[in-house]
Every structure is written in structure tokens, then in C-alpha cells.
């Protein structure tokens, strides 16, 4: 069975969001903004973005999972998933795992839409 299927998608989505908040992403061009207002997607020079991450651990991701009530044995499954998808530290969860997860969600939505359009007798 795939690791993706073993994970609760809602928990993963929430943990990624909490990790992103904990990383405290800030744009140095507009430091008073609470959140980036889409400039990253618009081709913002990433050298203007700062964040908090030790570059070595999944400390904030793990804390997010604990905050969501996930038990230690299951936390390891989420961390393994993260590492398998390029999330070796907290900021990489945002840069790699979030992107991979969102792509998977979009593919799943397209598949469901396609399945709903098929006639029942096929």
C-alpha cells in the first residue's frame, strides 16, 4: 500500500499549514505584511523572502502534528512521507511536500470529475 493512502489528507493539509505559519515567511520588501500576497507565484525574487528553519529537522512539522493530536507512531509516518517527497526540514515541507501534495489533490479531483462523467454501464 502506498504511504500516501495511509495518511489522513486533512491532517497532512493542516500540518503543512501550521508548519508554514511557524516558519514565519516574510517578504523583506514588504516586512509589515502578515502573509505573502501572492508575489511568490508572480515571480518574486525569492532572495526577498525570509523564514525560520534550522535546515536539518522537522521540528515545527512534528510540533504541528502533535498539536493536531497525532500519536508518536503516526507522526513518524507523516515524517517519512515528508522525507520521501523532499521535505527534509521544515521549510522543505513547504517548498516540496506542499507542492507535491497539492498536485496530487488536483489529480484526484480531475480523476473524480472524470469518473462522475462516465456512464454507469461502462
Q: pLDDT, tens digit, for every residue of 78-110?
A: 999 999 999 999 999 988 998 888 888 888 888
- Name, in order, each residue with C-beta under 8 angstroms of 55's C-beta and a sequence gap of 6 or more: 89, 91
Q: State the Cα–Cα distance between residues 89 and 39, nearest whole angstrom.
A: 23
The Cβ of residue 43 has, within 10 Å, a number of other Cβ atoms equal to 7
Between these two residues, 26 and 76, which has the higher pLDDT value? 76
- Name, in order, each residue with C-beta under 8 angstroms of 56's C-beta and a sequence gap of 6 or more: 88, 89
The Cβ of residue 15 has, within 10 Å, a number of other Cβ atoms equal to 27
pLDDT of residue 2: 38
Inform me whether the pLDDT recorded for 49 exceeds 70.
no
Count of helix runs (H) and strand runs (E) in the chain: 6, 2
The 8-class DSSP code of residue 50 comes to E
Inform me whether the pLDDT recorded for 40 exceeds 60.
no
Q: Which of 22, 115, 34, 97 is nearest to 67 (CA)?
A: 22
- Name, in order, each residue with C-beta under 8 angstroms of 36's C-beta and a sequence gap of 6 or more: 25, 27, 44, 49
What phi and psi, each to the nearest 5 degrees, are found at residue 106? -65, -40
Amino acid at each position: 500500500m502506498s504511504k500516501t493512502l495511509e495518511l489522513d489528507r486533512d491532517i497532512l493539509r493542516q500540518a503543512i499549514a501550521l508548519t508554514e505559519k511557524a516558519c514565519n515567511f516574510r517578504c523583506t520588501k514588504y516586512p509589515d505584511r502578515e502573509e505573502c500576497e501572492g508575489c511568490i507565484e508572480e515571480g518574486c525574487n525569492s532572495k526577498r523572502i525570509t523564514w525560520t528553519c534550522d535546515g536539518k529537522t522537522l521540528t515545527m512539522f512534528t510540533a504541528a502534528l502533535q498539536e493536531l493530536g497525532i500519536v508518536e507512531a503516526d507522526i513518524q509516518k507523516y515524517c517519512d512521507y515528508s522525507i520521501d517527497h523532499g521535505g527534509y526540514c521544515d521549510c522543505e515541507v513547504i517548498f516540496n511536500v506542499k507542492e507535491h501534495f497539492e498536485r496530487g489533490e488536483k489529480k484526484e479531483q480531475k480523476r473524480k470529475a472524470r469518473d462522475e462523467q462516465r456512464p454507469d454501464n461502462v
